[in-house]
Amino acid sequence: MTKGKNALVTGSTSGIGLGIAEAFCAAGMNVMLNGFGNANDIETERAEFEQKYGVKVRYHDADMSRPAEIRDLVATAKAAFGRIDVVVNNAGIQHVQPIEDFPDEKWDAIIAINLTSAFHTIKHTIVGMKARRWGRIINIASAHGLVASPYKPAYVAAKHGLVGLTKTVALGSAEYGVTCNAICPGYVMTPLVKKQIPDQAKARGISEEQVVKDVILASQATKQFVTVEQLGALAVFLCTDAAAQITGAALPMDGGWTAH
């Protein structure tokens, strides 16, 4: 069912995006990788996925804050695979600081990468999906697309915006066999989370150990991190026909965080 489908996963050189890309490859899908990082490491990963899973894996270094580069990413994926069936909008960054000190350029970068980039990828891929009457758009939002935490003004605004974008795109494409959903993960121990531990400690005036125990895992009822493998499995499920009636949803995978 997923075999032979072609997917574009933004921000897939690390963390959740890389986990979803690998799960897609394991499900027989061809994948266009994207994101920053060491060129040799990315090439090693790309070649490994191709060899291990027997699928086509390509890479494009588009900066997702730049609309012209996003257009080139989509065009390159279409040229490589013939069509794009699945888009995962995953690229994202974080910055943690009280709003009164929050730098303007961080606000602009977070809104561009975490929200506006999804507008562009969807705009450039949905016509083909609708014409073929099959498509899957998966937006990696966050528990912060449903609830807020302090000191994350741009991130919480972008993720709530991404959930809204998900709903309107779902309604507009529902009769064409195209679904659009948001996955709302709780905390996953990726570089994005590791990086914010010292900032959270500074903003709150507590130690880094206290941030992990009393801030990060305090919100997750299971007291465990979500894993990239679990998120990859959910993304693969959303690409199956069993998920054809799931659309416009914001699906939490957050260890019970948003049940509070």
If the CB atoms of residues 174 and 253 are measured against ligand NAD, the closer one turns out to be 253
How many Å separate Cα 144 from the centre of its chain? 13
Distance between CA atoms of residues 13 and 190, nearest Å: 12
Min separation Cβ 204 and ligand NAD, Å: 18
Work out how close the CB of 130 gets to ligand NAD at its nearest, in angstroms, rounded to a whole number: 25
Per the document, the length of the chain is 260
Residue ranges that bind ligand NAD, judged by CB under 6 A: 11-17, 34-37, 63-65, 90-93, 113-114, 140, 142, 185, 187-188, 190-193
- Cβ proximity to ligand NAD: between 179 and 220 the closer is 220
- Report residue 30 as tokens: 């061809």
Cβ within 8 Å of residue 259, ≥6 positions away: 221
| Residue 91 near residue 142, CB atoms below 8 Å | no
User: Shortest distance, CB of residue 40 to ligand NAD, whole angstroms?
Assistant: 15
Minimum CB separation of residue 208 from ligand NAD in Å reads 16
Q: Is residue 155 annotated as a catalytic residue, yes or no?
A: yes
In the three-class reduction of DSSP (H, G, I as helix; E, B as strand; rest coil), residue 226 is classed as strand
Handedness of CA 137, 242, 185, 163 (dihedral sign): positive
- CB neighbour list of residue 190: distance below 8 Å, 6 or more residues apart: 14, 15, 16, 228
Question: Number of C-alpha atoms within 13 angstroms, CB side, residue 236?
Answer: 23
17 or 232: whose CB is closer to ligand NAD?
17
Kindly tell me which of 17 and 135 has the beta carbon lying closer to ligand NAD. 17
Nearer to ligand NAD by C-beta: 29 or 162?
162
**Distance in Å, CB of 133 to ligand NAD, minimum:** 29
Sort residue 67 into left (φ over 0), alpha (ψ -120 to 50) or beta: alpha
Name the DSSP letter for residue 14. Answer: S
Residue holding tokens 């012209």? Answer: 68
The residue annotated as part of the active site, out of 53, 59, 151, 155, is 155
For the annotated catalytic residues, the residue numbers are 155
